[in-house]
Structure 1
């Protein structure tokens, strides 16, 4: 008889540590985190669970189960569902393949190995691990699966050895894995969202201090949709690092003017506009996006506090225009979907989300308009099976008793 414990089924023994971390969607505040600015992410209901047990040798063996992929969905029901209840169950054909184990893809294994190696440098951590990954994060929806994986892995390994990893240390470790293993010079947004989020809230993140304000999502008549509108991309193969370098070049100009400027977060919109003619036009555009995006993010947080979904949607639309025109991190395929949704009655705001350069879109939609979104996206999306998912604001990472 097969073991009901999936870890024991694969490795012949129980796990010593287990943790789960969610993905995230970012309402607003992109390319601000590595500029020490602000972001407004929401942790989603889907995530990644990692079970681990130490080995006596230095081998790291990783097995992956994608237990549920909601990215292929049946038609939406005819009647508008209740808020935060808009994700259909997967089609029976998808369930037939649920929990099919396979050796982890090279990317997942690299992230796990990166976490294990960085923890081993702290001392007291075995170099070898058996690792089982189980994820229900929809693929190609821009929900930051890598951060969910690294955070869950770090927490599970720490629990297995009886160590407590400070939250700040965990965020920095996961960011370092992205830098060293994925070649992505990202900021703290994704691991912070996976670790620190509170259920039912959007999280205003100060990326300088890594402090947060949990703001209740009082959107009684609205849904947050995550949409995959175009093919996904590897950030390491995108202009992401180039954009960060451009921001650093723009920052150098403002630092020469004022030594008090530590990051583009410290530049005011007035100063950015006044200095635009003194900068290379490309660098001026990059700086203006970051400076104004920080302003928009703080205003969006204030709109959430007031329960003003119309103002939040307007700021999301402005953010997309800036990412498209000033930061050039959108794409024609995404712009086409965003424009179509923005023209739909009941869609309050739509923008490219995450790091960009791929196909992820977030939309703030009246409940009465949710079912008009699907046919539009499916008719113009640049991929055959676009995910159209309703986000439930969920809690951050947790350690499980296995």
Structure 2
């Protein structure tokens, strides 16, 4: 059943362009644990959720690319689809980058129209940008008859973000939007791209997101700086252990042995990543055992590492996690996403969700004088067409 938003997007498309579009939904994601591990060839544990981007897309029979950001009330037009290049319009680059990736693979992209809108909160660390990329990649794959598999569409979406949005993101966000499965989280090995689904029982535990209201831009220098610091650590370790191609291959003992050479900052960054990879593997074991309390402890440890060693948290996120620890029925909490703002992710007993929201909201209001925005999410399937 089409949502009211996708019906609105469809109506806007037909009013503007005068023909019937393909309707597509692409979910945002949460990541239960495994932060900043993806670009270090490590493990992540995301799930697609019911905050999503909705698209109406069609081939217009001409050469123009016409894009409409329905939520923003903004339009973008390119005169010739054969001459795609990065634009000054930030949001348009996520879509143009996808079309450019098809061209780079030798697929001619004709003129097309796209109206899109979303319920993924912007700047909340739920990967609205990846959902935008994956939605258009799905639609173009459909129209061009390219028959690219889901992993190739995932790569197209990731490379669009690298080349046109300027963010050297790992593959997790696009992977989760494409490969999501209802009622499951998915552990992705970001090196081999092997993946495994684990059931996540939302009747035993709800996923509640608390939005700090602090806006971040992943294109900011801090994200890329963390990536460079990890690469510096690998370069140092490789001189002693040639088999270490990424922090995925390193141990804490190896880091300790070369602490002075690494320097205090790079050591802390690398130690966090090595420990976080272990936490993801342990967390999956806890899920299989049905031990949500043990899973939650891994989440708290993840937040501590992100705060103290990786230094990508902020005071607002730290207050939310501390408030969660004090609230009833909480298994675990941590900051989620690139950092410096966005959301905390909290696992809460279903009968305690309302009490949790009231308790954490009161703490946030008292500390910052701000009204806390919260979202309860359901785990859903990945990108796909919407039947009218």
**Alpha-carbon distance, 1:308 to partner:** 0.5
**Alpha-carbon distance, 1:265 to partner:** 0.4
Residue 163 (structure 2) pairs with residue 157 (structure 1): no
| 1:44 and 1:394 in contact (8 A); partners too | yes
Give the Cα–Cα distance (whole angstroms) in 2 for the partners of residues 256 and 236 of structure 1: 31
Give the Cα–Cα distance (whole angstroms) in 2 for the partners of residues 341 and 351 of structure 1: 9
TM-score (norm 2): 0.88
CA 1:185/1:378 → structure 2, altered by over 3 Å: closer, same or farther?
A: same
Give the Cα–Cα distance (whole angstroms) in 1 for the partners of residues 238 and 23 of structure 2: 45
**Alpha-carbon distance, 1:259 to partner:** 1.6
Aligned alpha-carbon RMSD (Å): 2.3
Residue 179 (structure 2) pairs with residue 196 (structure 1): yes
Aligned residues between the structures: 367
Match of 1:14 in 2: 20
Deviation digits for residues 266-295 of structure 1, max 9, x if unmatched? Answer: 112332333324321100000000000000
Give the Cα–Cα distance (whole angstroms) in 1 for the partners of residues 123 and 94 of structure 2: 18
Match of 2:32 in 1: 27
| 2:23 and 2:385 in contact (8 A); partners too | yes
Deviation digits for residues 228-285 of structure 1, max 9, x if unmatched? Answer: 1131211112400000000000011111112211110011233233332432110000
Give the Cα–Cα distance (whole angstroms) in 1 for the partners of residues 169 and 45 of structure 2: 16
Residue among 86, 91, 95 paired with 1:112: 95
**Alpha-carbon distance, 1:127 to partner:** 4.5
Q: Which moved more, 1:203-212 or 1:24-33?
A: 203-212
DSSP 3-state at the match of 1:394? coil
Residue among 305, 328, 350 paired with 1:345: 328
Deviation digits for residues 60-110 of structure 1, max 9, x if unmatched? Answer: 2111334xxxxxxxxxxxxxxxxxxxxxxxxxxxxxxxxx95537933311
Residue among 222, 226, 234 paired with 1:243: 226
Residue 337 (structure 2) pairs with residue 332 (structure 1): no
**Structure with the greater relative contact order (CA < 8 A, sep ≥ 6): 1 or 2?**
1
Residue among 358, 376, 379 paired with 1:393: 379
Q: Which moved more, 1:269-278 or 1:354-363?
A: 269-278
Q: Which moved more, 1:328-337 or 1:340-349?
A: 340-349
Q: Which moved more, 1:385-394 or 1:27-36?
A: 385-394
Match of 1:290 in 2: 273
**Alpha-carbon distance, 1:57 to partner:** 4.3
Residue segments in structure 1 that go unaligned for 5+ positions in a row: 67-99
